[in-house]
A and B are shown apart, each in its own frame.
Chain A
Amino acid sequence: MQRVVNVSLNGNAYVLEEEGHAAVRRYLDEAARQLAADPDRAEILADLEQAIADKCARHLSPGKNVVTAAEMEQALEEMGPVGSAQQGTSAATAPGGARTADGGATAPTPPEATPHEAPRRLYRILETGMLGGICSGIGAYVRLDANVVRAIFVVLVVLTYGAWILVYLVLLFVIPPAGTAEERAAAHGLPFSAQDLVDQAKRQYARLGRELRGARAGARRRREWRRQWRREWRAAWRAGRGAPPGAVAPAATYGEQIAAGFVVPVLAMLSAGLTVAWFVAAAMLVRTGAILGWTPGLPLWGALLALVLVVGILGGPIHHARHALQRDAWIRAPLLAAWDGLLWVAFLVLFAWIAWRFSPEVRELVHDLPGAVLRVRASLP
């Protein structure tokens, strides 16, 4: 009696005996090594998995749902070793023939293939995450199981008496989520080629087309779906081939996204601070005709106008930057845009409270607004 392992072969579930699982794991790992320099590595591996699955499925029936180790071994022998296409095709071995090569004539000598320089970046992986995908993302980045990372986080929360939760929140806003397929590949440190996109699109079309045909789908739904698929297909093609001329500016790079996470709260603080500062300066002008002891050589209304201009000039770039970040963030991480809004309000309240506590001019202005208006009107020529 053997233990069994549940695996997914190219998207379908199979139950393998433990030894058989080890064997197919070795086969696929070796294939991945051989294909390390091949840009279609992912696609070929998927094809290989499917071929293995097809061979195993032959031995399954309603009364037998486990693939034995012997059956898996036979399937792998039929598959034959994977040789990189670059070296030319390996000499054929008869199916079921012995693996022991005489003089190594059957299998190509494995090249010292260095894996592609695949980028590896820290993203939040929402698909496999529980809350914000932080532990999943960190797990993929350092090649640890996500649950191990989660356990470590929980321990840290306990050890720091809850302060670690703040760190979690900061990470939540600073680390971008992996949105596109390319980002998801980078999150795991896998090389990604344009062909992957094209292959994904093709595969999706076939699968969903089958579902629609099976369901009681009307012709209209199918037409709509086909139109949508064509749009996605074109987008995937464009992404693989590079954007056509005149296309929309590319989305933010990883560095830009991280920077945005840090910059947004700073900008919110500056913007709110500037607003309150304007109000305080206006209050001071109205009350005493001077801002912190400095008298502008202008009548009251002129000084107020000048103040508005100065604030406009100073605040212009800040607001521009905030809008630019919001526009980009709203599509990719709505959380960031909401965060920005909340922060701005929070800073506004904080600065306004400080102004109220420490500036008598502000208090007076608020208490006596009509009087202030009269004073401004009096200063007009």
Chain B
Amino acid sequence: MSPQDDDRFGAIRKGLLEFLVLRIVAGKSVYAAEILARLSGTEFATQEGTLYPLLSKLRRAGFLDYEWIESGAGPPRKYYRLTGKGKSWLSELNGYWKSLHATVERIGG
């Protein structure tokens, strides 16, 4: 069973997808299909139907901004990048993720 089909972990993935998308956009300006390509093959592989509303929500929240950049062949594409607000939110998320990880390692097991 491919990693993304395992619905037992669906709830965890759901919460983290936004985090993952922000991490991808933090690298360099990306367009939607690039984000999907990066995520494909991983547990977070997703589809346009899910990604576009999410990107829109992040843009409305002020974490992302986009630019229309023409591609060689075909219509222009939206290239997303992190805003300042997005960068600080991402560093908060990164910090939270680290502390979560530390907590999980510490407790039990």
Using a CB–CB distance below 8 Å, which chain A residues touch chain B? 10-12, 31, 35, 38-40, 43-44, 47-48, 50-51, 54, 57, 78-86, 88-95, 97, 105-106, 195, 202-203, 205-207, 209-210
Which chain B residues numbered 5 to 26 have a C-beta less than 8 Å away from chain A?
5, 7, 10, 13-15, 17-18
* Chain B residue nearest to A57 in the complex (CB): B74
Check if A94 sits within 8 Å of B4, measured CB to CB: yes
B residues near A93, Cβ cutoff 8 Å: 4-5, 47
B residues near A78, Cβ cutoff 8 Å: 47-48
CB distance from B25 to the nearest CB of A (A): 15
Q: How large is the interface on B (under 10, 10 to 19, 20 to 34, 35 or more residues)?
A: 35 or more
B76 contacts which of A82, A83, A206 (Cβ < 8 Å)?
A206
Per-residue A-contact encoding for B68-87, CB less than 8 Å = 1, 0 else: 11100011101000000000
Check if A80 sits within 8 Å of B74, measured CB to CB: no
A residues near B2, Cβ cutoff 8 Å: 94
Check if A54 sits within 8 Å of B18, measured CB to CB: no
Check if B50 sits within 8 Å of A89, measured CB to CB: yes
The complex places the Cα of A206 from the Cα of B78 at a distance, in Å, of 10
B residues near A195, Cβ cutoff 8 Å: 60
Are A48 and B76 CB-contacts (below 8 A) given A91-B13, A206-B68, A209-B70? Answer: no
The complex places the Cα of A206 from the Cα of B75 at a distance, in Å, of 9
Check if A92 sits within 8 Å of B13, measured CB to CB: yes
| CB of B108 closer than 8 Å to a CB of A | no
Check if A83 sits within 8 Å of B33, measured CB to CB: no
| CB of B49 closer than 8 Å to a CB of A | yes
Check if B5 sits within 8 Å of A94, measured CB to CB: yes
The complex places the Cα of A83 from the Cα of B13 at a distance, in Å, of 15
B15 contacts which of A50, A88, A202 (Cβ < 8 Å)?
A88
Check if A202 sits within 8 Å of B18, measured CB to CB: no
* Chain B residue nearest to A53 in the complex (CB): B75
CB distance from B46 to the nearest CB of A (A): 4
Check if B10 sits within 8 Å of A44, measured CB to CB: no
A residues near B57, Cβ cutoff 8 Å: 85-86
The complex places the Cα of A11 from the Cα of B75 at a distance, in Å, of 9
Check if A203 sits within 8 Å of B52, measured CB to CB: no
Check if A92 sits within 8 Å of B49, measured CB to CB: no
Check if B53 sits within 8 Å of A97, measured CB to CB: no
The complex places the Cα of A205 from the Cα of B52 at a distance, in Å, of 22
| CB of B92 closer than 8 Å to a CB of A | no
Check if A12 sits within 8 Å of B75, measured CB to CB: yes
Check if B75 sits within 8 Å of A91, measured CB to CB: no
The complex places the Cα of A47 from the Cα of B48 at a distance, in Å, of 9
Check if A91 sits within 8 Å of B14, measured CB to CB: yes
A residues near B67, Cβ cutoff 8 Å: 202, 206
Check if B47 sits within 8 Å of A95, measured CB to CB: yes
Are A40 and B14 CB-contacts (below 8 A) given A51-B32, A94-B5, A205-B68? Answer: no
CB distance from A83 to the nearest CB of B (A): 6
A203 contacts which of B17, B48, B76 (Cβ < 8 Å)?
B76
Check if A44 sits within 8 Å of B13, measured CB to CB: no
| CB of B45 closer than 8 Å to a CB of A | yes
Check if B75 sits within 8 Å of A35, measured CB to CB: no
| CB of B56 closer than 8 Å to a CB of A | yes
| CB of B54 closer than 8 Å to a CB of A | yes
Check if A81 sits within 8 Å of B76, measured CB to CB: no
B56 contacts which of A43, A50, A90 (Cβ < 8 Å)?
A43
Check if B78 sits within 8 Å of A89, measured CB to CB: no
B residues near A10, Cβ cutoff 8 Å: 75
Check if A82 sits within 8 Å of B53, measured CB to CB: yes
B45 contacts which of A48, A94, A202 (Cβ < 8 Å)?
A94
